[in-house]
Chain A
Amino acid sequence: MMSIGDLISETQHLAKTPTGISGLDELTLGGLPTGRPTLLCGAAGCGKTLFAMTFLVNGAAQYGEHGVFMSFEERAVDLSANVASLGYKVDELVAAKKIAIDHVRIERAEIEQSGEYDLEGLFVRLNYAIDSVGAKRVVLDTIEALFSGLTDTAVLRAELRRLFAWLKDKGVTAVITGERGGGQLTRYGIEEYVSDCVILLDNRVQEQVTTRRLRVVKYRGSAHGTNEYPFLIDDEGISVLPITSAGLGHPVSDEAVATGVPGLDEMLGKGGFYRGSSVLISGLAGSGKSTFGGSFVLAACTRGERALYFAFEESPEQIVRNMQSVGIDLRSYVESGMLCFEAARPSLYGFEMHLARMNRDIERFAPSVLVVDPISAFRGPSTEIHATLVRLADICKTKGITAVFTSLSATADMMEEGERSVSSLMDCWISLRDVEASGERNRVLYLLKSRGMNHSKQLREYRLTDNGIDMIDAYLGHDGVLTGSARAAQEARDREQELVRRQGIERRRRELARRRAATERQVAELMAALESEESEVSTLIEQEEARERALEADRVTMAQRRDIRK
């Protein structure tokens, strides 16, 4: 298994000319083969001419390589007008002698043939144009038009072969466009003569949605990406969605990024999502997915980080207003440029085109957090969605962007096809659910997974309040989780029971006190009785003693009397 780095070092001997088209240069590991012709083929409307013109304009504007555009179809004025919509100022480059445009017009009706001829005239023109601006890059668009203008194909073929050899001798990097047709790459089979590099453009319509794709069919002497890659043409030029690293070698971070919902941070165990992780928030309609996204974005902006929000269902204004209603104020951050909304209808282009566009926006805005709301807006074969989401998640991971993807579930029954296909990509999955009971709907969330975190396994109720999302401890009863008014009723019942129990204890305590008082009273009575008996007894004893003393005294008196008589 070779890494990209190995491939580059191995192909260093082959000089390459960068096209300046983001993505294509990565795909071809540097650009088109320098000093050799490249065939760019595709059906009508694929963007061949734009691609070729971009190659020239970038060469002149960015790499200091002047170019010649030899057009066999469009006039010079039409060409510059057509590419002006991409922001290319061809007229200025022509005036500055950086680009020369030569329109070759061949009308079959005006031409009579008599005897032998060759295409030296074309060579002369091309040579003159190349020398007049000192061109390093040449575009021939579409040289096959010669076949419709001139009848002698044997001569044409021989001359084209000579032309391509001549271009190589001249040392210019040439792009030759060709119309696809007749079961071949080009209608007249000119790929036979241009064998160094062949790039195929394609414009496919699937389910009424068009996706442009590019494939490097061959690249002699160089490794290249072999897959089909979507590309995008819009007012900012052409961008090809780059190949993502084949391995999973992106660096990871231990840093946690707050979710913007304190209760959720607690549940996650680490105080938030890991930086650079991908988070899926799935839930039914109205479960507050966007609000979670909004909270996350707000938290990022408050920390001073840049946030990018891709909206596919609501307009930016609508999102800002709706977030305001739950106390999430995004407007000031939009105005200060910390937060950027990119909104588009999902049906505007194919899923892959959206991805190409998102990639370009990410490149340009360089956010540290990202919200895609929602990924379920895209319809298409799940394999395709999966493949492209892998790329998006990969892009975010390599750039260390924490990405939150929301996904609308159609049913409350756990996973759907789409969710299952993306779940393995996600580091963290928050499932928002509605619990319907006793005639009302309440919102609960739980963490389906969170890689590398000892997260809460609890089902938690949350409310969308005026101050954002409020997490509540869900009531766990023996019948399961109770939410909303059912929870409130259960709590009231509990309070009542508590009261009754407390009252019981109080009654028992009073009873005891009463009995204690009664007992003490009895004890006192008995003591009193005892005391009175005691005092009675002591009186008797005193009387007895007094009587004893009297008797004694009598006896003494009697004895004395007897003594006297003696």
Chain B
Amino acid sequence: MSGKIDDGLPHEEAVAGKYNLRLYVAGQTPKSLTAIANLKRICEENLAGRYTIDVIDLLVTPQLAEGDQIVAVPTLVRRLPPPIKRIIGTLSDTERVLVGLDIRPKGQ
């Protein structure tokens, strides 16, 4: 696995503990915008340089909703590292997001 080799370069796939995140939203609603802003802030504060974010607007690509079992929006899906994790909501509770993404263990 190339992801395990730390070659010191900012190459995405090569960074250990790299987070591949997807945020599903439906249109540019206030909730969507809040969630996007919250996610960017949390990632910058906690995962600087170790993350990628894809924002998927389901109104544009509805066919993607089924694959990731999206019911609620906004939904944040952690695709990497495994296992897949889901966090729903506007991500306004930073603690819960960090716990949900396994960045910080529970109760710490």
Contacts and interface: CB of A to CB of B under 8 A. Distances in A.
Given A105-B69, A120-B73, A121-B26, A114 B59 contact: no
Contacts, number: 100
Given A113-B87, A114-B89, A121 B70 contact: yes
A113 B96 contact: yes
A119 B96 CA distance: 20
A150 interface: yes
B62 A128 contact: yes
B74 A117 contact: yes
Contact residues of A: prevailing secondary structure: mixed
Given A115-B38, A115-B89, A120 B69 contact: no
Contact of B35 (A102, A104, A115, A122): A115
A117 B72 contact: yes
Contacts of B97: 112, 114
B23 to A, nearest CB: 12
Nearest to B75: A121
A317 interface: no
B62 A112 contact: no
A106 interface: yes
Interface-central residue, B73, B88, B100, by most chain A CB under 10 Å: B88
A121 B73 CA distance: 5
B22 to A, nearest CB: 13
Contacts of A127: 62
Given A112-B96, A114-B100, A128-B62, A104 B71 contact: yes
B33 interface: no
B86 A118 contact: no
A110 to B, nearest CB: 5
A123 B71 CA distance: 8
B18 interface: no
A110 B86 contact: yes
A119 B72 CA distance: 4
Contacts of B100: 112, 114
B99 interface: yes
A112 B87 contact: yes
Nearest to A100: B66
Interface string A109-140: 01111111111111111011000000000000
B66 A102 contact: yes
A150 B86 CA distance: 12
Interface in B52-108: 58-59, 62-63, 65-66, 69-75, 84-94, 96-97, 99-100
A146 interface: yes
A293 B88 CA distance: 70
Nearest to A125: B65
Contact residues on B (Cβ < 8 Å of other chain), bracket:
35 or more
Contact residues on A (Cβ < 8 Å of other chain), bracket:
20 to 34
Contacts of B93: 114-115
A121 B35 CA distance: 15
A125 B87 contact: no
A431 to B, nearest CB: 68
A118 to B, nearest CB: 6
B19 interface: no
Given A121-B26, A121-B65, A112 B73 contact: no
A125 B63 CA distance: 7
B62 A117 contact: no
A117 B59 CA distance: 16
Given A118-B31, A124-B26, A112 B71 contact: no
Contact of A112 (B38, B65, B85, B90): B85
B65 A117 contact: no
Interface in A241-288: none
Contact of B88 (A102, A117, A124): A117
Contact of A115 (B26, B58, B71, B90): B90
Given A112-B100, A114-B93, A115-B91, A121 B24 contact: yes
B107 to A, nearest CB: 14
Contact of A118 (B72, B92, B94): B72
B20 interface: no
A124 B92 contact: no
Nearest to A110: B86
A125 B70 CA distance: 8
A114 B69 contact: no
B65 A113 contact: no
Contacts of A106: 69, 71
Contacts of B27: 120
Contact of B58 (A112, A113, A124, A149): A124
Nearest to A105: B69
B89 A124 contact: no
Given A119-B72, A150-B72, A114 B63 contact: no
Nearest to B101: A112
27 contacts: A102-B66, A110-B86, A112-B85, A112-B96, A112-B97, A114-B88, A114-B91, A114-B93, A115-B38, A115-B91, A116-B89, A117-B31, A117-B72, A119-B72, A120-B72, A121-B26, A121-B65, A122-B71, A122-B72, A124-B62, A125-B62, A125-B66, A125-B70, A125-B71, A128-B63, A128-B66, A150-B71
Given A105-B69, A114-B91, 20 more contacts: A104-B69, A111-B86, A112-B88, A112-B96, A112-B100, A113-B96, A114-B88, A114-B90, A114-B97, A114-B100, A117-B72, A118-B31, A118-B72, A119-B73, A121-B65, A122-B72, A124-B58, A124-B65, A128-B62, A128-B65
Interface of B: 24, 26-27, 31, 34-35, 38, 58-59, 62-63, 65-66, 69-75, 84-94, 96-97, 99-100
A-B CB proximity, top 10 nearest: A112-B100, A115-B90, A115-B89, A115-B92, A128-B62, A121-B70, A120-B26, A114-B96, A114-B93, A124-B58
